Amino acid sequence: MRRDRAFLEDVPFAQEDYGSIVQTDYPGAHDEAYRKRVQSLIDHSEEAWPEIPEYEYTDEEHGVWSFVSEVLTPLQDRYSCEAFLEGRDALDLPDDHVPQLDKVSAKMEDETGFMLAPVGGLLDQSEFLPRLSQRVMRCTPYVRHSENPFFTPEPDIVHELRGHAPMFMHEPFAELSVQIGESAKKAVEAGDEDLLELIGLFYWYTVEYGLIREDGNIKIFGAGNNGGIQDLLRSVDPTIEKKPFDMEKIKELTIDYDAPQQVFYVAESYEQITEIASELGKMA
Ligand SMILES: [Fe+2]
């Protein structure tokens, strides 16, 4: 069943500026025509807010989507965690064209009540994370630059739909997201920036880039590595460092949004992730 989106009417499309891309070698950061195209999809989204508009994608954009989809699917079959694969198969996204956000949102809403809501770029954690408590996932509508379909330092629709959306078909993950969202909301309301940062780090090293042990094997849990060719390959490359997930170590880290992950953290189990999320909730 579709959810009513009216409760988002009072929420600004974006309160703060989006994170900027500073990585110098990403072609999408410097191609003016590309930046204009990205901006036009953002403007289109903002005009329709909080509804999801129909987007018209170019052949080039469909081509990037198809290329990434074809390369990713067999890699995911081999390396992704069970919850992701179940969600991916249930979501059943097309390989040959960029799907409409609204259609994907409809399937998620049916399954767990999570809805997609367009956004223009990387949001500040204080805006992005609390929204999860309302089962809302902000989601970019534009496609990465065609010169580098393997990696993008800014979130794009491939990352959102090939990486994040499948997990929202899985109720325990939806509940985990709500829990993270509620803790973040309390941290924002209390003005507790340290706690918000801690929740953001936890989110980054689990939901975005986490690995998880499943039946003795290390599988991919995070949307960044499930939904990106370079990140997926890096996260299963034995020459790239993997460490056991440890909140004491994670809290010392920072997030570099522009560069590929240099180290990956492996959660022992789904329970370990939910337990830490619940501990963070108690701190809020
Ligand atoms: Fe993400």
> What CATH number did the domain enclosing 164 receive?
1.10.800.10
Residues at Cβ < 5 Å from ligand 1 ion: 223
pLDDT value, residue 176: 97
What's the CA gap between 206 and 173, in Å, rounded?
11
The alpha carbon of 206 and the centre of ligand 1 are apart by a number of angstroms equal to: 11
How many A from CA of 1 to the centre of ligand 1?
25
The domain total for the chain is 1
pLDDT at residue 4 is higher than 90: yes
Instruction: List the domain range (segments joined by +) for residue 105.
Output: 6-10+29-283
In the block, tokens 């924002």 appear at 188
**CA–CA separation, 93 and 266 (whole Å):** 28
pLDDT tier, 20 (very low <50, low <70, confident <90, very high otherwise): confident
Question: What gap in Å lies between CA 151 and CA 130, rounded to an integer?
Answer: 27
- pLDDT at residue 260 greater than cutoff 90: no
Please check whether residue 169 lies inside any domain of the structure.
Answer: yes
| Bridge partners (DSSP) listed for residue 139 | 118
Compute the distance from residue 59 Cα to the ligand 1 centre, in Å: 25
Question: 17 lies in a domain?
Answer: no
Cβ(260)–Cβ(234) below 8 Å: yes
* Residue-wise pLDDT tens digits, 53-74: 999 999 999 999 999 999 999 9
- Residue 135 and residue 108 in contact, taking contact as beta carbons nearer than 8 Å: no
Instruction: Please tell me the distance between residue 157's alpha carbon and the centre of ligand 1 in angstroms.
Output: 10
Residue 19 lies in a domain: no
pLDDT reported for residue 152: 92
C-alpha 62 – ligand 1 centre gap (Å): 21
Asked whether residue 20 is assigned to any structural domain, the reply reads no
Answer yes or no: is 24 within a domain. Answer: no
Question: How does pLDDT run across 193-206, given as a tens digit for each residue?
Answer: 999 999 999 999 99
Residues in the chain: 284
Å from CA of 223 to ligand 1 middle: 6
pLDDT surpasses 90 at 239: yes
The rounded distance, in Å, linking the Cα atoms of 104 and 83 is 18
